[in-house]
Structure 1
């Protein structure tokens, strides 16, 4: 009997761990390629899921591509996939070289680089906010006016992740700081990122994301997710609710998402498309990622609909028919925990207990960790989920549980204080 071998480009992280667990449960052998620094952080449970691993330097894309392909051929893999934002272009290149299902390697960077993505959106008439790629030699405010944009605007890095470096700017005086923040983003692997900064039209409205899986160029939308977003200049996601298909004109949103997915060369695999529905009913596609959604959305899909997105990702990567039939008709929401002031985390009090109604409670920050009000998704301290048969009841229950949680933070003495 032929052994099915799956290669994960980076197995760390909740989504990768879920895929590795699903693959192992199916009897597949799971291998990973990661960096030395990330490997040192793998816990025993994750290492036990793996049959083998390769350590490489992801900061050099050419070297990493050669290493991945050589290792994949050596172990005779049947699939290569990733859930890591920074590694999606590498995954597309490796899959193409190996003759395995993947995305268009010539467009792989357009599903990661927001400047290239904006150009593809424009070429394919994807309804999206107008986007200006800054020319470093000219006055930023002058460029904004020349492009026909007006305040407020969104300032973002070309290759950021997790909302890092994204700022809503209401006035010209705040531009310099926002551009500097966008310029300061770094890859988790030390790779050189496109340092360009984008100025984007601010689209006011309800934020959603579309969770989809494409196989052989045909896209199936799993559901619409409604986003709960913080206020202020640094908007971060504080919760998700799904399915939200009845909240809005999901057909128009799904059509726009399909356009965006096709425009950046997605042929095989999961996508996470962020959209905004304006008060006038316009749908604006903000961006699309060539990976399954983070933020526990995959787990919410499974609890609410019965669809196993991890299994579907594996089937697509293996070239096998995927199963997307819903076996449940529930609702699921997640709430993220964050500090409301800067300091050192003492404790998190009042966390709910796991039950049939509360499928998971996760804490990622330990006592003594330096914390601050969130500026990106990486500042989350933990989360919990609620599921149920009625959307209003699920959201009410989640809000009540969140209100009972107290995050204790102590101030940190500044250098030189007595």
Structure 2
């Protein structure tokens, strides 16, 4: 049986599902990882696990050469933002389907994307500065308008993305980002910062697939973002309730971006806002959307985006034409303060609610938690589906109200263990 290699995975649960779906498609899933313990549920996937330094390309090459015969590998992929560039390099070296290396490098760098999209029709251009030192920030000081957004160019999950209202805040956050030498996967950070215009308005995620250069917009997801000055995704709704005019603006702008970026194969998702008759690109992500959006699309349309991703990399044409028959939504469970969990109740009642598809908690009584500043701190979610958006929101609101998590304030940092 041909092998389907995964270089690491995301940690929300869809990554483990992808391993299972690889076997359903007739392939043997193989996960290359530097830390198998990172992935809850890995054992249940029954995939082959090879441990190596996945942040060292030569180590990956060595284990591939030693463990597999020529032609045994059908495809290489990942569900993690941090490894799409490694996948592109290996796919090219092994003659497998993928995206151009230069394309993926640009997609992993938010500053490079800003530069690439200058002067493109239908795309709103924000003012921005690329900063790699406090000295360079000082030179841009008089031209920075407020509020603005300060973020690292190569992180994920809205990590270290901050809305700033003064130069002092910008400087303080710049110092913080520059002091972080490595990301959550122990990869060296680019040490570049994007200081850019804050654009207000409703945020959307546009889910896209390409196959041999042909682009298909699967749909548009409405995002619920809160937690200022941070940008915390609190929930999503698919399909987004947008007018035909807004949908046309989105389709025109997104198509231009995909063409300019030269995205050739597989999924990507664009986080955007609408600015007049143009779209403002918040971020381009060269992978499936996180935040369980693929699961929402599955509940709403029947399309299994994880399986379709695997079909693309194994040279099978994806099937993406099913229209939504339901609205699906997710609400994330977000700690609003630091503390230790003393009780959790209401889960069983929520699970038995008509329209609720999934309730998941990634915490237990006695565990210490932090107030959320990014996607990594969310401690669970509730997914529901209904025939109209009002009913969906009612079900999700009612379920969130029924969930009770009591948090006892910790006296000092040492209580967090």
| TM-score scaled by length of structure 2 | 0.91
1:27 aligned onto 2:22: no
Match of 1:331 among 327, 332, 352: 327
Unpaired runs of at least 5, structure 2: none
Match of 2:250 among 253, 256, 259: 253
1:244 equivalent in structure 2: 240
Match of 2:360 among 358, 362, 379: 362
* Cα separation, partners in 2 of 1:356 and 1:292, compared to 1, 3 Å: farther
Query: Superposed, which structure 2 residues align to 1:49-198 within 5 Å?
Result: 49-64=45-60, 67-68=63-64, 71=67, 76-122=72-118, 124=120, 126-136=123-133, 138=135, 140=137, 142-146=139-143, 149-183=144-178, 184=180, 186-198=182-194
- Equivalent-residue separation in structure 1 for 2:51 and 2:413 (angstroms): 39
Contact 2:288 2:294 (8 Å CA) reproduced: yes
* Cα separation, partners in 2 of 1:170 and 1:50, compared to 1, 3 Å: same
How many residues were matched structurally?
409
SS of the aligned residue for 1:360 comes to strand
2:14 equivalent in structure 1: 15
SS of the aligned residue for 1:97 comes to helix
2:379 equivalent in structure 1: 381
Contact 1:57 1:64 (8 Å CA) reproduced: yes
* Cα separation, partners in 2 of 1:73 and 1:50, compared to 1, 3 Å: farther
- Equivalent-residue separation in structure 2 for 1:68 and 1:376 (angstroms): 35
SS of the aligned residue for 2:360 comes to strand
Contact 2:28 2:47 (8 Å CA) reproduced: yes
Contact 2:99 2:265 (8 Å CA) reproduced: yes
1:40-88 Cα distance to aligned partner (Å, 9 max, x none): 3445x53353442322213334544554576565571111111101001
SS of the aligned residue for 1:224 comes to strand
Contact 1:227 1:241 (8 Å CA) reproduced: yes
Q: CA RMSD in A?
A: 2.4
Contact 2:134 2:175 (8 Å CA) reproduced: no
Deviation of 1:399 (Å): 1.5
**Which portions of structure 1, spanning 4 or more consecutive aligned residues, are displaced by more than 4 angstroms?**
65-75, 123-126
* Cα separation, partners in 2 of 1:90 and 1:212, compared to 1, 3 Å: same
Deviation of 1:275 (Å): 0.2
* Cα separation, partners in 2 of 1:348 and 1:48, compared to 1, 3 Å: closer
1:398 aligned onto 2:396: yes
- Equivalent-residue separation in structure 2 for 1:185 and 1:236 (angstroms): 23
> Structure 1 residues 381-390 or 351-360, which shifts more?
351-360
* Cα separation, partners in 2 of 1:376 and 1:5, compared to 1, 3 Å: same
